[in-house]
Structure 1
Amino acid sequence: MRKVMDVLETLLLAAVRECWGEQVDFVGVTRDVLSCVLDQRELFEALPERMAVEVIPIEQCGLDSPRTRSMEEFHSSKAVLLFDGLTAAAGGRRSYIYKSKGFRVYLFESGEVCTLTPYCKIDDRGFSLGNELWDIPCDFHVHMLRTAEPVADLFEMISEKKPAFLPDARIGLGLIKMITSLRSRFPIDYCLEYVIVPPDVDILSGFSQGTRRDLWDVCLSRRFEREAGHEVQTRAIALLMEAGISPQPDQILDYLQRIGRSSSCEDLLQRMDELKLAVLGRIDQLADDLSDPDFWQRLGSEQRRTHSAVVRQFQNAPCVRTMNDVVHEILEVFKTQIEAHGLWKELWDRDKPKPESSVQNLFFSSAISFCRAYGLDISPESDGGSGPVDFKISAGWHDKVVVEFKLSTNTSVVHGYECQLERYKDSENTEHGIFVLVDVGELGGKLERVRSLQSAKGERASDIVYVDARPRVSASKKR
């Protein structure tokens, strides 16, 4: 058991490092993870190579002869399905009742990982299925894996064919999703179940259910936080939610009780906020949810319910500090979406960064719904007399925060922080401003210079938020 937990801990750390753009050697990680799957013999079952059920026309049948002829051929080794990329259609111009195609990834008992292309058709002549081996990924054998290239190629292919499963070909996230999504064996070997998976047999295996819980036990453990650090733990929480794995209520309660016994109330509230962002906000789905009004209505309702005390305090006795925290929370979600969840792609036109207006529009589409949930007003291009600031977020006349965005390619980054933002604060009659520096290259020493200015100004200095929006290297090119 400890061995499996150690493997999951190593996988989680590698996945976080990969999200941060660090070089990760996934050879050993992949070997250990898939070796754990190979140990689960109950998951492996016979895999058909060819199947057919031919329907014989009634006029060709004798009185006692059968109406169908069947044929079954299986691969020599049993296998477990790691990834299902099958697509299907029905009623194609009446030439067939059902057909399917696509690809599936299997792990065989021998340790070989293979991609198969199933092709199935059901028509008036009967049923036919062929499961042909692809040559991609090549030379992928668990016990003989020497480089990460076959692993990277596999997830590159999956992300190209099925982007919803793995939007940016991350190996760590892909491995987590694979081992936590393994199905139980079919209870009866009906041939159709290899190409159509009915709900009553589409059941998550006990191994994957246990692995989901184990990953959260590792992530929320005192040992993981102590050895990896709180920042890594926070990112790991978001990563597991991105993989579609939710913690059990008792795991959350145990985690918060442990924090509460050894930390201050302020630290406990911070941990609750972090969990709220990961568990309730579902950061991984934010890009799609931005256009769904029902989502924001549910999110706002849930935030007000679970944090009613904080919201009531803000509504009854509003203060800039509380509102400033909310704006930072909005920016943190925006930053995470860009840096860790592929939203940086929306800020690039092939190999050139888009203008600052694209950054502003992207932030506004996120912030407006958050502001609605918190009862705040957001005004883009607000002009208090010194020119238009990118955003003013306010709760009445006295409670205002101004937010200014600058791309790293802008030659006026330092001037924007030192002078421009200060004039906006004066004209809007507020002491609170946030300077967002979005890195799209050519940063040089601009970040260090604005941070030096911030340090020199002391308590009255505007906050700085750095967002790394540089293009990420695909997994197949990381070595």
Structure 2
Amino acid sequence: MREITEMEIKDGSWFVHSGVTRHSYVSPGIYEARILSPIGWLTSKVRSDCRLTSSASVNMSGDDDVSFVVGRIASLKSLKFDLVVAGYREAFASLTADRIFVARSASEAATDLSMMAVRAPWRSDPIIKIAGFSDDEMLRMAIYDTVIRFEDAVERHGAWRLLYDGTGTVMHEHQHQGMYRLFSQFIFGAYGISVDPNADHGSGPTDFTLRLRGAVNVIEFKKDLKKSEIRHGLEVQLPLYMASAEALRGTYIVMCHSNSRPEVEDILSQVFAENPDLPEIDCWVIDCRPRASASKAATREAT
């Protein structure tokens, strides 16, 4: 996805926006978000039940100049867009708990948003420590949080569309990885987690190698087009990557395009049952199969 100021805007286009977002109250339970684009002000309605935190109602007031928005053009004619994800460009904006200690911070914000999801990491180097948690635990929790958000966007908010090209063909795993990296950028940046895509530690390039001081976690993405490859990735590929990177824990994410979640979970369960000596690996199964539009769904027959 590209910055809205740097792209051709069409109906249905997905975009990111890193400028000012103007919020205003409309009616009980409804707010309006406005962003300035090359074609004028675009508006979107936001329901109060979509807010994830109690502080969102305070933040959604007036002009927010540190916002980051992922959206989709709903109608050029009426200048409407669907607000899909909204957050902060600067990760520290939402970190206020007294258990968080910033030991060092040297921030140099990236300006090319397209690079955030492809290659270059966000140029921010905070060193944060949360009392009571080891680096391994913090790294695992950060990955858990980002995968949950990524899964929710794909399965319940239409982001699965970004994993298919215009002909309906499943896109390369790099597209899946790029989407995940975009979702993870804020949290990983806040904790100072180093993200190394395609890092080769001696047994081939990993999808992502994550480091938080002394903690290491290797993430492997796998499409479910071949069941044999799902097994091989968990049974052989990821453990070898982990050994080469000296990672005590790994993360295995299966993106379902052909099989149902239970079918893939059965395969993963079999691998663990047959290989009790596997290293510590957290497995995720995300349903990326296309959803039918409600307007095109079959009519129920009368009984």
| Band the TM-score falls in, shorter-chain normalisation | 0.5 to 0.7
1:85-124 to 2 correspondence within 5 Å?
A: none
Hey, what does 2:222 align to over in structure 1? Answer: 406
Aligned residues: CA RMSD: 4.0
CA pair 408-423 structure 1, distance change in 2 beyond 3 A = same
Letter of the aligned partner of 1:388 in structure 2? P
Contact (CA 8 Å) 1:407, 1:437: kept in 2 or not? yes
Contact (CA 8 Å) 1:296, 1:373: kept in 2 or not? no
**Counterparts of 1:414 and 1:395, CA distance in 2:** 28
Letter of the aligned partner of 1:296 in structure 2? R
Q: Does 2:266 match 1:448?
A: yes
**Counterparts of 1:406 and 1:280, CA distance in 2:** 40
**Counterparts of 1:364 and 1:330, CA distance in 2:** 9
Contact (CA 8 Å) 1:368, 1:378: kept in 2 or not? no
- 2:70 is aligned, of 279, 287, 308, to 287
Partner of 1:382, secondary structure, is coil
Cα shift at 1:367: 2.0
Hey, what does 2:37 align to over in structure 1? Answer: none
CA pair 369-406 structure 1, distance change in 2 beyond 3 A = same
Bigger Rg, which one: 1
Cα shift at 1:446: 3.7
Cα shift at 1:314: 3.4
1:307-346 to 2 correspondence within 5 Å?
A: 307-309=97-99, 313-314=129-130, 318-346=134-162
Hey, what does 2:178 align to over in structure 1? Answer: 361
- 1:419 is aligned, of 226, 232, 236, to 236
Task: Report Cα offsets for 1:178-225 as digits up to 9, x if no partner.
Answer: xxxxxxxxxxxxxxxxxxxxxxxx9845xxx2xx39xxxxxxxxxxxx
Partner of 2:198, secondary structure, is strand
Gaps spanning 5+ residues in structure 2: where? 1-9, 15-23, 31-44, 61-67, 72-82, 102-127
Hey, what does 2:94 align to over in structure 1? Answer: 303
Runs of 4+ in 1 over 6 A off after TM superposition: 161-164, 276-282, 289-292
1:33-182 to 2 correspondence within 5 Å?
A: none
Contact (CA 8 Å) 1:290, 1:366: kept in 2 or not? no
- 1:347 is aligned, of 126, 147, 163, to 163
**Counterparts of 2:59 and 2:272, CA distance in 1:** 31
**Counterparts of 2:145 and 2:59, CA distance in 1:** 11
- 1:382 is aligned, of 174, 199, 202, to 199
**Counterparts of 2:201 and 2:57, CA distance in 1:** 38
Task: Report Cα offsets for 1:213-248 as digits up to 9, x if no partner.
Answer: 9xxxxxxxxxxxxxxxxxxxxxxxxxxxx9431599
**Counterparts of 1:476 and 1:448, CA distance in 2:** 34
**Counterparts of 1:278 and 1:461, CA distance in 2:** 36
Cα shift at 1:382: 1.1
- 1:435 is aligned, of 249, 252, 255, to 252
Cα shift at 1:279: 7.9
CA pair 469-277 structure 1, distance change in 2 beyond 3 A = farther
Number of matched pairs: 218
Contact (CA 8 Å) 2:239, 2:278: kept in 1 or not? no
Hey, what does 2:211 align to over in structure 1? Answer: 394
Cα shift at 1:356: 1.0
Letter of the aligned partner of 2:220 in structure 1? E
**Counterparts of 2:288 and 2:55, CA distance in 1:** 21
Cα shift at 1:445: 3.8
CA pair 352-457 structure 1, distance change in 2 beyond 3 A = same
Task: Report Cα offsets for 1:122-147 as digits up to 9, x if no partner.
Answer: xxxxxxxxxxxxxxxxxxxxxxxxxx
Partner of 1:403, secondary structure, is strand
TM-score by length of 1: 0.39
Contact (CA 8 Å) 2:199, 2:209: kept in 1 or not? yes
Cα shift at 1:366: 2.3
Partner of 2:199, secondary structure, is strand
Report the structure, 1 or 2, having the larger strand content: 2
Partner of 2:47, secondary structure, is coil
**Counterparts of 1:335 and 1:278, CA distance in 2:** 22
Contact (CA 8 Å) 1:432, 1:462: kept in 2 or not? yes
Letter of the aligned partner of 2:233 in structure 1? G
Contact (CA 8 Å) 1:414, 1:446: kept in 2 or not? no
Report the structure, 1 or 2, having the larger helix content: 1
Q: Does 2:48 match 1:245?
A: yes
Letter of the aligned partner of 1:426 in structure 2? A
Q: What is the percent sequence identity of the aligned residues?
A: 20
Partner of 1:401, secondary structure, is strand
CA pair 385-280 structure 1, distance change in 2 beyond 3 A = farther
**Counterparts of 1:393 and 1:276, CA distance in 2:** 31
Cα shift at 1:355: 1.3
Gaps spanning 5+ residues in structure 1: where? 1-160, 168-201, 214-241, 249-273
CA pair 441-459 structure 1, distance change in 2 beyond 3 A = closer
CA pair 309-347 structure 1, distance change in 2 beyond 3 A = same
Cα shift at 1:474: 0.4
Cα shift at 1:295: 2.6
**Counterparts of 1:344 and 1:425, CA distance in 2:** 29
**Counterparts of 2:26 and 2:216, CA distance in 1:** 49
